Structure 1
Amino acid sequence: MTADVTDNGMRRVGRKAAGHPWFHTMSRAGLVARGLLYLLIGWLALQVAFGHGGKEADRKGALEAVADKPGGIVVLYLMTAGFFALALWQFSEALYGRPVPDGDKPTKRLGSALRGVIYTVGFGGMLAYALGHGGQSSDQQSKTFTARAMGEPGGRWLVLAVAAGFLIWGGVVVVNAVRRAFLDELKTAEMGRTAHRVVQPLGMIGNAARGLIGAAVGVFLGYAAITFQPGRAQGLDGTLREFAATPAGAWGLAVVAAGLLVFGLYSFAEARYREVDPT
């Protein structure tokens, strides 16, 4: 009985903290940080498409672009804090439920928990970079993971499972973009007519591009596992560059890069209209 009372009391305290204005501010600041990161990656990918790319079009390249500018270290730490806030927000949704239809279902909570892990990894990588530990590019990380995993018993199946996870996630994101399911997460009642007309296509195009890239990462991981060639695995930068090798050429990469830029803008819209209160 005492344990139940204590647990309920802790949950009430947690819910109260998650509903506090500071929590709202941190969550929305995190969405702004995510938007800035995608804008930078999209811009770097555009430079690659038109032959002016000197940096990787991934998180490391984006952080390098920020750090190279005057006052960049301050922006870098603010972005790092934003990703920490994103992780806290997602873990709170995993504990208390998401503010969407059926947001209390275990599958919804699990999705939030996984996103919390992803944002935690992002936060760790950004903090390490800010502290002077450059780390590997996304391509190097992907190849290293694949080689090490395939060197262990059953590692090939692990890589295939991760590849399947990327493929499924990417497919779901694309389908939800087409279905406009992302609108369930927004305060659409607070949008004016103009805002609604702008945010909806941003969400559809941006999420579709993100899902397409995620699925492509899964394809390369799967191919590396099937052919026993860890070097064929690609991270974000390598995957984006592969779009330039399609019949569409540089314009194929440019279109995908534009999609990332659009998702960055959509993240800014989310910072204004996203529901951030756990249920």
Structure 2
Amino acid sequence: MARRAARGDAVRAGARAGFVARGVLYLLVGVLAARIGLTGANEQADRGGALAEVAATPFGAVLLWALGAGLAGMALWRLTEAVYGAAGPDGDKPAKRAHSAFRFVFYAFVSFLVLSFAAGARSSGAGSSDQQSQDVTGRLLGLPGGQWWVGAAAVGILVTGLVIAGRAALRKYHKHLTWARLSKNQRRLMDVTGITGGVSRGVVFAAVGFFALKAAIQFDPAEAKGVDDAIRSFATAPAGQWLLVAVAIGLALFGVFSFGMARWRKF
């Protein structure tokens, strides 16, 4: 009965709601990052900034609760995958289950932060990701062998970012979609948003990992950067303003891709 429930309509609905919530957050982060690149606005291009934008709308409180609930639905779906295996022929493999378990922990944590923010604990969801990264890095560096722990985590994040970008470029997401049922225009939409969005998302993850690795090597937590500062760092590259805007557009497109996943993902 538990296995049937895990494959049931309620869990699938929760997963779809989670993709929508993820899409909203990435779309808002992309818009905030684009404003920074085009106008130099002093805004937070990360989850905290996105939540602050939602809270400022007329129905902000309701939307925040909806986002938190959607992310909780995503966490529940990933938990069922970890326990019972994911859809597909290789869904029962230990590596797949472990990956789903990691995603469950991640989405459960983010959902908790968003719901706490909705309940009035404004510092829980909207704190600067840059300050949070430096605080965590500083605590880890203070532990025995902390420099190695930070370095290992940094390499993991950097490699994860490169894998995300590579899988997006290779269109690995096709196998998760009801591709044969999509029209030509729907396929084009998913490829444009999936490749551009996935590569941009991966590049941002890799940048966060790079700065964490720099913090480990220099034994300086101030070198660690969250999503906001990692995105801003692209402005220091050649043609930096336009590179930052390009990454911002990619993140917004990943939000649109998430909406498509909510509609056409296989479960």
Select 1:51's aligned residue among 33, 39, 54. Answer: 39
- Is contact 2:26-2:252 (8 Å) kept? yes
In 1, the alpha carbon distance for the partners of 2:43 and 2:111 equals: 21
Counterpart of 2:239?
248
Match of 1:57, SS state, is coil
Q: Deviation at 1:55?
A: 2.4
Match of 1:244, SS state, is helix
In 2, the alpha carbon distance for the partners of 1:19 and 1:92 equals: 8
Q: Deviation at 1:101?
A: 4.3
Amino acid at match of 1:234: K
Select 1:67's aligned residue among 48, 52, 55. Answer: 55
Q: Which runs of 5+ in 2 are unaligned?
A: none
Select 2:87's aligned residue among 99, 105, 128. Answer: 99
Counterpart of 1:111?
99
Select 2:252's aligned residue among 238, 245, 261. Answer: 261
- Is contact 1:26-1:85 (8 Å) kept? yes
- Is contact 1:101-1:184 (8 Å) kept? no
Please give the per-residue CA displacement for 1:153-198, whole angstroms capped at 9, x wherever unaligned: 1111111111011112111111111211111111112212221122
The CA RMSD measured in Å over matched residues stands at: 1.1
Work out the percentage of aligned pairs sharing the same amino acid.
Answer: 44
- Deviation above 3 Å: which 4+ runs of structure 1? none
Q: Which runs of 5+ in 1 are unaligned?
A: 1-12
Select 1:173's aligned residue among 164, 171, 194. Answer: 164
Out of 60-69 and 50-59, give the one that drifted further. Answer: 50-59
- Is contact 1:42-1:260 (8 Å) kept? yes
Going from structure 1 to structure 2, the CA distance change for 1:172 and 1:205 (only over 3 Å counts) comes to same
Matches within 5 A, 1:34-49: 34-49=22-37
Aligned length: 264
Counterpart of 1:157?
148
TM-score, length-normalised on structure 1? 0.92
Q: Deviation at 1:52?
A: 4.9
- Is contact 1:100-1:184 (8 Å) kept? no
Going from structure 1 to structure 2, the CA distance change for 1:167 and 1:58 (only over 3 Å counts) comes to same
1:197 has 2:188 as partner:
yes
Please give the per-residue CA displacement for 1:28-87, whole angstroms capped at 9, x wherever unaligned: 011001000000000000111112523210001100000011011100000000110111
In 1, the alpha carbon distance for the partners of 2:147 and 2:198 equals: 30
Counterpart of 1:183?
174
